[in-house]
Structure 1
Amino acid sequence: MWKKAGALVLVGAVICFHVGITPGKAYEYADTPTEIADGIRIPQRVTLLRDTPYYVIPNTGLNKAEGVLSPQTVEVMEAESGWATSGNWWKIRTVMGERWIKTLPDQIEVAPPKTLSLMVETALYENPSEKSGSLAVLSPQNVTVVDAEKDWFRRTGDDYNPKRWIQIHTTWMGDPWIHLRLDQIGAYQDTNQIRYYSNVGYNRTPYIDFQTFPTDGTQTHQFLHELGQFRSLLGSVSQVETTDGLKWTPLSGTPVVPENITIKRNVSSPLYTYPTPYEDAPKLVSSEELHAIEKLSDDQYAGNKEEWYHVKTDQGEGWFNPVYAEPEDAEEEKIRIDLHNQVTMVYRYPNAQLYLNYGQLGPQTVHPLKAWTDPQGVRWYQVDSFVGKGWIELQADEDRVILNDRVSDMQLKGHTSHQGAFYKEQGKYSFGNETVGYEVGDEPFFETSFLARIYNFTISGPDPDGWWTLKNESGYAFQLKPGELGARTFWKGRSVQIVPLTKPPIINSNTAPLLGLTDIRTLLGASTTVSQDNHEILLSTRQYDIENLHLPNSVNGAYLKLSGFLYDENAKEQNAIVQSLRISVLDRDAQESSPKPIYEEASKNFLYNINYWTGLYDVSLQHPVHPGMNHLTVVFKVGERILAEYEWDVKGSDQAQ
């Protein structure tokens, strides 16, 4: 029989029960779908049979165990629903606050529910055996549970829905036993709720095979009265009124709740027959006021802010959802877009993932009518296509935005290359089985011979003066010398400048010098993500494609102006230091009289997101020019790593000051 284990008190890991603490929301973590502990499908108390680590969040890959709980009974707030068959996360209450534990079925004991709802006539037995025959039959009713066979909730072998013995209390026969399948061990709760079902399959009984889901019938687009729900260890079923009478369905439907608001609109509104966007021709009304009388509640969908309203207007009634309608704050747009992607889908509305007659655009130039930025910051464009007016989303890798008065703008596309992850053990960093770096003080240092390999440089040295040279086929190179606090940079063999280092390179008897992580960012243009205590280091690099670069031969006025659009990744990991593109112009004549290059650097202003991971930036630069010939160089860098350099001559007008 199941025996209740007493709660064990721990020093530093005591589980206590606080009154008034609100349980956490289900679906708190996207990859950990949970349900509130109701004492039926999710137990409210669980007994741990062995030492169990506890965590701040339900993810062993993102955090380490904060401590260990010894065997004891804990109070559950919410949990995943697979606790009887597989590894399961539980949110529990502790003296430290809310914490998470993960268990396997053989690591826990769970008491049976305190009460059960018998939904059909059920045989009673004197002992937990059917050999002696039943004593009587109990009609459908709620019963109090006294005990259960050991491991009552566990499945054995391939039987998904085994029978288990449960002992109940009666006023006229003592405490007999009943033999129930797992899907019969549950409780019925009244709900009295109107719910919408886009498609509903139903059965005559509440006992449904949750593996195959057979149905006795189906109906579509139904607003059904849900009388109640029966929740068991295997799942939940709802009792609903249909045109065929009372039926049971494993589908929950969407609650419909009363509403009394007025939605004001300044553009036409599509009204749908049912609360679903999959309707070929919704009715368009021009009414400025939509009077809502009810809505579909989205409480069961975490993070889903879509809401359907049943509205009435002077032009008719129907269901309205602002997501599946033209946005009110769309702006007129006067740009050109060059679509280079082979397929660009046309959507009925922006950010709705609803195709407009499955229209597709091939590579072409389009002139948007309007533009709109969605709540995530992504820009959408309305175009007049062969399937009608619809909305498109750009592909940052290929599509290009061009302003009508800036057709000669350069186009710059960024992308990231990943060099690898490096882990520290006993002060050494490894890459596979190879030691590639060391921690010196609090600074990670890496072997430059290894850095040359992963960043596609050749390395040579030392020369007679002790300098090591790392050279990339692009033309960029730099030199290091152990003990020196300056690095020499070069472009196609020409000396550029001396770059100060934060720490001098360290001599290594086996290979080329070791270079500190801060200076790796500078000289290689490396982006880094460093975990706490430098335990893990991720190295990556931003690369850039330079397109449509037009350098003017002459300038009217006092300034040379360069501008363009930069398509760059905007996602940034925690603890990341990102080296991104820098553009500058220098005067070669002024450089000859100055020991250090004097640059005019371009500004970079964020405009909007092209998609969820790429932003569009407006890049602009002004450099003073004088009358006559100006000898200029434009430089593209990431950190101090030179991507490209272009020398050209610009004639300034007589008006240049």
Structure 2
Amino acid sequence: MSSKTLMRNVIALVFVCMLINLTGHLQADAAPPHKEFVPPKVPPVITLLEQTPLYSTPDDSHKPFAALTPQNVTTVDAEQSWYTKQRGEKVWIQIKTTWAGDLWMHLDYDRIGIVKPIDTNIALLWDSSLYTQPSLSTMTDVVLAPQTVHANAIFESPVSYLTNSYRIETSWLGDMWVVSQPHMLLDMEIVNQEMDLPTETLYMEDYDTSNRMQRPSDAKLIPPQTVFAFEKTQNGIYHVRSQDGNTFWIHPDFAQPAGAVQMKERLNLLKDVRLYLFPTMPFPTFGVLSAQTVDAFERWTDPQNEQWYHIHTWAGDMWVQPDKPL
């Protein structure tokens, strides 16, 4: 074999090795990184809801070493895979004590959590059962009708089905718990005063009715009137009662704008525009109107000095903003 042939073979071999090495790197880079599962830690502090036996070892066949009254305790450790337990099962958790070192308690899985004080009002939207503790096993026969209540504590727990568990105040049973109740509104502001609705306003049977409207015909408008406002959500939606005793929800912005000027004008739309039920209600919109000539019967200037026009459309009377691009 000539020296030139040998050199070509060596170069080819080196090239193949480099190609194999590069392919391996590309495959490694393309593969998603492996994420090692990190098991959740037991909460650092747990509130004992009742007298709880303590053991020197995680074995309740032995006599308890002592017992603790309801209080907050600091955790040290927990049995392996404690987070995989189910409702009705118990978990061994090791806690600190100042008088006997680290001891164990055998706690119901749905009692793992901490009670934290809060000061807020909660609107219960559905019938709600009352509990003596933030645990599903403590349900009573008492059921509250939809109403707004004051909550003075929350139970924070890693147990997912205990989400939305609050201690509320009642006038006849004292403090009770609402447990695992998703149908509620938090941080309600108590209003309890009359409220003037100066223009036609969207009637909402539920607080989120506006989010579920799919077409303009879904909207129900009520005439100008004075209502009594009970409370207000964080999003500015009021729970009100009309003079005939009907209760419903309204938002001051979901209404015809005050100060709109009556007019009768042929309006040339030079570009596509969105259709709005009200100028002050950005969502939902109800389609797009292509460039054309329309009949406008009202004009309103918003706080940003932009012009809105109330027009007749195939979808009913809608508001458009001709100078605003889509």
Query: TM-score, with normalisation over the residues of structure 2?
Result: 0.55
Asked if 1:389 is matched to 2:325, the reply is no
Q: Counterpart in 1 of 2:157?
A: 232
Match runs of 1:88-107 below 5 Å: none
Q: Is the 8 A contact 1:359 1:387 kept in 2?
A: no
User: Displacement of 1:131 after TM fit?
Assistant: 7.4
Q: 1 CA distance for matches of 2:209 and 2:118?
A: 31
Q: 2 CA distance for matches of 1:330 and 1:158?
A: 60
Q: Is the 8 A contact 1:124 1:138 kept in 2?
A: yes
Measured against aligned partners, the alpha-carbon deviations of 1:224-249 in whole angstroms (never above 9, x if no partner) come to 546552123567422489xxx97512
Q: Is the 8 A contact 1:324 1:352 kept in 2?
A: yes
Q: Is the 8 A contact 2:237 2:249 kept in 1?
A: no
Q: 2 CA distance for matches of 1:375 and 1:200?
A: 42
Asked if 1:223 is matched to 2:223, the reply is no
Q: 2 CA distance for matches of 1:156 and 1:380?
A: 61
Q: Is the 8 A contact 2:60 2:106 kept in 1?
A: no
Asked if 1:145 is matched to 2:73, the reply is yes
Q: 1 CA distance for matches of 2:56 and 2:320?
A: 70
Measured against aligned partners, the alpha-carbon deviations of 1:188-223 in whole angstroms (never above 9, x if no partner) come to 5476844143x7999988469xxxxxxxxxxxx943
Q: Counterpart in 1 of 2:249?
A: 319
Q: 1 CA distance for matches of 2:43 and 2:244?
A: 59
Distance 1:340 1:281, change over 3 A: closer
User: Displacement of 1:321 after TM fit?
Assistant: 1.6
> Which segments of structure 1 move beyond 6 Å, counting only runs of 4 or more?
136-139, 155-158, 199-205
Q: Counterpart in 1 of 2:298?
A: 370
Q: 2 CA distance for matches of 1:147 and 1:363?
A: 68
Asked if 1:285 is matched to 2:217, the reply is no
DSSP 3-state at the match of 1:327: coil
Q: 2 CA distance for matches of 1:158 and 1:142?
A: 23
Distance 1:158 1:174, change over 3 A: closer
Q: Counterpart in 1 of 2:231?
A: 295
Q: Is the 8 A contact 1:329 1:372 kept in 2?
A: yes
Q: Give the aligned residue type for 1:292.
A: F
Q: Is the 8 A contact 2:48 2:73 kept in 1?
A: no
Give aligned-pair identity as a percent.
18
Q: Give the aligned residue type for 1:308.
A: Y
Distance 1:386 1:201, change over 3 A: farther
Q: Give the aligned residue type for 1:361.
A: L
DSSP 3-state at the match of 1:384: strand
User: Displacement of 1:322 after TM fit?
Assistant: 0.7
User: Displacement of 1:327 after TM fit?
Assistant: 1.4
Match runs of 1:339-350 below 5 Å: 340-341=271-272, 345-350=274-279
Q: Is the 8 A contact 1:259 1:293 kept in 2?
A: yes
Q: Counterpart in 1 of 2:207?
A: 275
Q: Counterpart in 2 of 1:248?
A: 179
User: Displacement of 1:187 after TM fit?
Assistant: 1.3
Q: Counterpart in 2 of 1:124?
A: 54
Give the one of 305, 310, 321 matched to 2:240.
Answer: 310
Q: Give the aligned residue type for 2:115.
A: A
Distance 1:284 1:364, change over 3 A: same
Q: Give the aligned residue type for 2:231.
A: K
Match runs of 1:546-561 below 5 Å: none
User: Displacement of 1:296 after TM fit?
Assistant: 1.8
Q: Is the 8 A contact 1:183 1:233 kept in 2?
A: no
Distance 1:372 1:170, change over 3 A: farther
User: Displacement of 1:160 after TM fit?
Assistant: 9.9
DSSP 3-state at the match of 2:253: helix
User: Displacement of 1:177 after TM fit?
Assistant: 2.4
Distance 1:363 1:110, change over 3 A: same
Instruction: Number of aligned residue pairs: give it.
Output: 258
Unpaired segments of 5 or more residues in structure 2? 1-37, 137-144, 169-175
Q: 1 CA distance for matches of 2:299 and 2:282?
A: 17
User: Displacement of 1:328 after TM fit?
Assistant: 0.9
Asked if 1:258 is matched to 2:190, the reply is yes
Q: Counterpart in 1 of 2:5?
A: none
Give the one of 118, 121, 135 matched to 2:64.
Answer: 135
Q: 2 CA distance for matches of 1:371 and 1:337?
A: 14
Q: Counterpart in 1 of 2:269?
A: 338
Measured against aligned partners, the alpha-carbon deviations of 1:272-299 in whole angstroms (never above 9, x if no partner) come to 4443444845451333xx253422241x
DSSP 3-state at the match of 2:207: coil
User: Displacement of 1:339 after TM fit?
Assistant: 5.7
Q: Counterpart in 1 of 2:258?
A: 328
Measured against aligned partners, the alpha-carbon deviations of 1:516-556 in whole angstroms (never above 9, x if no partner) come to xxxxxxxxxxxxxxxxxxxxxxxxxxxxxxxxxxxxxxxxx
Q: 1 CA distance for matches of 2:181 and 2:94?
A: 25
DSSP 3-state at the match of 2:179: strand
Q: Is the 8 A contact 2:268 2:293 kept in 1?
A: yes
Q: Decide which structure has greater helix share.
A: 2
Q: Give the aligned residue type for 2:276.
A: Y
CA radius of gyration, larger in: 1
Q: Give the aligned residue type for 1:231.
A: E
Distance 1:377 1:229, change over 3 A: farther
Q: 1 CA distance for matches of 2:237 and 2:101?
A: 52
Match runs of 1:537-548 below 5 Å: none
Q: 2 CA distance for matches of 1:137 and 1:345?
A: 71
Q: 1 CA distance for matches of 2:149 and 2:52?
A: 28
Q: Give the aligned residue type for 1:124.
A: L
Q: 1 CA distance for matches of 2:270 and 2:146?
A: 43
Measured against aligned partners, the alpha-carbon deviations of 1:415-438 in whole angstroms (never above 9, x if no partner) come to xxxxxxxxxxxxxxxxxxxxxxxx
Q: Decide which structure has greater strand share.
A: 1
Q: 2 CA distance for matches of 1:269 and 1:117?
A: 48
User: Displacement of 1:259 after TM fit?
Assistant: 1.9
Q: 2 CA distance for matches of 1:274 and 1:117?
A: 36
Q: Counterpart in 2 of 1:361?
A: 289
Q: 2 CA distance for matches of 1:119 and 1:246?
A: 12
Query: TM-score, with normalisation over the residues of structure 1?
Result: 0.31
Q: 1 CA distance for matches of 2:191 and 2:158?
A: 35
User: Displacement of 1:308 after TM fit?
Assistant: 1.3
Q: Is the 8 A contact 1:265 1:328 kept in 2?
A: no
Q: 1 CA distance for matches of 2:268 and 2:128?
A: 47
Q: Counterpart in 2 of 1:59?
A: none
Measured against aligned partners, the alpha-carbon deviations of 1:151-182 in whole angstroms (never above 9, x if no partner) come to x7xx97996999673426599x9974225559
Q: 1 CA distance for matches of 2:230 and 2:146?
A: 16
Cα RMSD (Å): 5.2
User: Displacement of 1:388 after TM fit?
Assistant: 1.6
Distance 1:142 1:329, change over 3 A: farther
Q: Give the aligned residue type for 2:224.
A: S
